Structure 1
Amino acid sequence: MASRAPSKIRSWFPELHLPGVIAIQKHFKARPTDLFVLSFPKSGTTWLKALAFAIMTRTQHPLAHHPLHSLNPHQCVVTMDRLFALGQVSTIEAMPSPRILSTHMPFSLLRDSIEGSGCRIICVCRDVKDVLVSWWHFHDKMRPAEIDRVPFAKAFEMFCEGICPSGPIWSHVLEYWEESLRRPEKVLFLKYEEMMEEPMSHAKRLAEFMGCPFSLEEEKEGVVEEILKLCSFEKLRNLEVNKSHKRDAVHLAQFDSLFRKGNVGDWTNHMSPEMARKLEEITQQKFKESGLTV
């Protein structure tokens, strides 16, 4: 792979992801009731999927017997790129409304499929430094044994050049940020760190945005707290399904590879001050005049 990303490149995709991206652009049309859970990879997607699914289905499934007790969040909220890549368009079309769908595609590649539909979008972003660390660990765990490990220093330089799946991260995040400014009633932009700091208020905000706000009775009965407990990182990580090496044709990642730490600030254990400063300077420059701080 080239050491620098050509300026005309808007987004990088592994070859196996391209058929799904192309198929979505050709065949997918969103419904007005659709809810999209979107993010750059390794930005809190799994947690957000769990929260959105638990909130939307809370009247269908008693929390004590909720599917999230036995299923990985990625089994509950489908990544539509993979289904389209596998030719399973009918699976998505057969899903009853409201559908919760997910993808890591940048908005510029998804726009034509959702424009004018009235669907809702929830996007989460994360400190770029923590995204890099999580991405490096994830791909190291997923690499075949015959492939040499990529040193963190090399991964850092590639990331700074925008060379990573769905990258560059800055354009990906900015596209959804700018869309949330244009259409705040349809696009909710969240920050992982703020969600971790105030999960209760963000769960309520999610429910309100999704059109299924918590009632006063639910709040008094502790439903919000129960959902947060059900979707907590520790709870999800310790489920048998998420401790296994299980994967299938749709979910290429081993489920146990999706849960490492989930901490805020783990980058301090991997980056030198110089590396952190470089990445912060790039981020500040990329987000300059956008009003976004990450």
Structure 2
Amino acid sequence: MAEKELNMNVRDDNVSEETKKLISSLPTYKDSLGKLCKYQGCWYYYNTLQAVINFQNNFRPQNNDIILASFPKSGTTWLKALTVALLERSKHDHDDPLNHHPLLSDNPHGIVPTLEIDMYLKSSTPDLTKLSSSSSPRLFSTHMPLHTVKEGLKDSPCKIVYVCRNAKDALISRWHFKCKCQKQDDVSRSSLESMFESFCSGVSFYGPIWDHALSYWRGSLENPKNVLFMRYEELKTEPRAQLKRLAEFLGCPFTEEEEESGLVEKILELCSFDNLSGLEVNKTGKTSLNIDRDSFFRKGEVGDWKNYLTPEMESKIDMIIDQELKGSGLTF
């Protein structure tokens, strides 16, 4: 998170008296950035908790809303780009799908706002009218676990897509992101070790990662028509099949004509790491929360954790994950 975003999330100046009373009854913890509390099984900084509660109390879902969910640094940017490209394709010439495409003029995070950071962190009743369209569903993203999101959806049949990533890669990506956003030129080993310990204890922003993933895994098994569980690694190894799977889930499957015209491949190329990271709109400028847009593009690789975690760290996190996921059918 960038300096401004970190400040907005960790401050408690926007917390209502009612929420302060709630916090007094919750488990709390203080890290290097600020105070965290555990609400509905997930750790939040105080301001973010207020945003979560604002969302739960005030969000008015529409039946065709689409929520893109993830644990931070788990493929959020890519999932947003792919979903935008899928939904936008009917508006563009198949022979020239990149003509005036929104992904060429805005960062994926600018197109798909995050409910508890972009929207309800700033206001308890944000104006969502600009997101409404008679021809397209509203697109939102979130890092909240499923049971917390569902409180705000009020039994709406809207679609939820979750992307899961190997916990070790998510950790390393989060560490680099934090260091870059805080302008730490020296990506120190000590800062990684500190984040690793918090990550393993589960006491970290939006943690524990295993409970987060389990909420969506179980949701996808219980309600597969409304919750889709995707894996970052499968998107990397079989992108065509996974994109078609996503399109079918969202109710906009590719036609035979579209497949024959190579549209699937064109969308994958448009949303590829190399292409998105090379676009001027993603290399310069900042998001609405003052985050450098290029902070969202580092490597996008599978297994990069091997370059940073010791065998002892690998063993520890694997043992914890295996224990926490035991019997669920879910593996990282």
TM-score bucket (shorter structure)? over 0.9
Q: Does 1:266 align with 2:304?
A: yes
Shift of 1:99: 0.7
Partner Cα separation in structure 2 for residue 224 and residue 238 of structure 1: 20
State the Cα distance separating 1:253 from its structure 2 match. 2.6
Alpha-carbon distance change, 118 to 190 in structure 1, aligned in 2, over 3 angstroms: same
Matched, 1:194 2:234: yes
Matching residue's letter, 2:141 = S
Match of 2:121 among 65, 81, 85: 85
Identify the residue that residue 64 of structure 1 maps to in structure 2: 98
CA deviation map 1:191-219 (0-9, x unaligned): 10011000000111111000011000000
Letter in 1 for 2:245: R
Query: 1:92 is aligned with what amino acid?
Result: L
SS of structure 1 residue aligned to 2:64:
coil
Structure 2 match to 1:256:
294
- Distance (whole Å) between structure 2 residues aligned to residue 242 and residue 105 of structure 1: 25
Equivalent AA in structure 1 for residue 109 of structure 2: H
Give the structure 1 partner of residue 5 of structure 2.
Answer: none
**Correspondence for 2:316 among 278, 285, 288:** 278
Question: How do residues 23-172 of structure 1 correspond to structure 2 at under 5 angstroms?
Answer: 23-62=54-93, 63-65=97-99, 66-81=101-116, 82-87=118-123, 89-97=125-133, 98-143=137-182, 151-172=191-212
1:212 maps to 2:246: no
Structure 1 residues 240 and 8: CA distance shift in structure 2, 3 A: closer
CA contact (8 A) 2:72 2:174 kept: yes
Q: CA deviation at 1:90?
A: 4.6
TM superposition shift of 1:60: 1.6
Cα deviation, residue 163, structure 1: 2.4
AA paired with 2:54?
Answer: A
Query: 1:139 Cα deviation (Å)?
Result: 0.8
Q: Which has the higher contact order (CA 8 A, sep 6+)?
A: 1
Distance in 1, Cα, partners of 2:235 & 2:39: 34
% same residue: 45
Q: Deviations over 1:84-103 (max 9, x none)?
A: 22228453244224111111
Does residue 1:235 correspond to 2:266, yes or no? no
Q: Distance in 2 between matches of 1:128 and 1:159?
A: 9
Residue 43 of structure 2 is aligned with which of 12, 15, 22?
12
For 2:40 and 2:317, the matched residues in 1 are separated by 20
Whether the aligned pair in 2 keeps the contact of 1:124 and 1:190 (CA below 8 Å) is: yes
Q: C-alpha displacement at 1:180, in angstroms?
A: 0.5
TM-score when normalising by structure 2 = 0.82
Structure 2 unaligned regions, length at least 5 = 1-29
Task: Tell me: CA distance 1:9–1:224, structure 2 relative to 1, closer, same or farther (3 Å).
Answer: closer
Measure the CA separation in 2 of the matches of 1:175 and 1:30.
20
Classify the secondary structure of the residue corresponding to 1:85.
Answer: coil
CA contact (8 A) 1:61 1:67 kept: no
Letter in 2 for 1:83: M
CA distance in 2, matches of 1:110, 1:288: 24
The alpha carbon displacement at 1:241 in A equals 1.7
Q: Any unmatched runs of 5+ in structure 1?
A: none
Q: How far apart, CA to CA, are the structure 2 residues paired with 1:6 and 1:15?
A: 7
1:182 aligned partner: 222
Does structure 1 conserve the Cα–Cα contact (< 8 Å) formed by 2:58 and 2:124? no
Output the CA distance in 2 between the equivalents of 1:252 and 1:15. Answer: 20
Change (3 A) 1:238 1:6: closer
TM-score, normalised via structure 1 length: 0.92
In structure 2, distance between residues paired with 1:110 and 1:278:
30
Deviations, residues 257-278 of structure 1 (Å, cap 9, x unaligned): 1110010000000001111111
Residues 145-174 of structure 1 show CA distances to partners (whole Å, capped at 9, x for unaligned) of 6xx966211111111011222111111110
Task: Give, as a single letter, the amino acid of the residue that structure 2 aligns with 1:183.
Answer: N
Assess, with a 3 A threshold, how the Cα gap between structure 1 residues 110 and 282 changes in structure 2: closer, same or farther.
Answer: same
> Matched residue pairs, number?
291
Amino acid at match of 1:194: E
| Cα distance in structure 1, aligned partners of 2:284 and 2:45 | 25
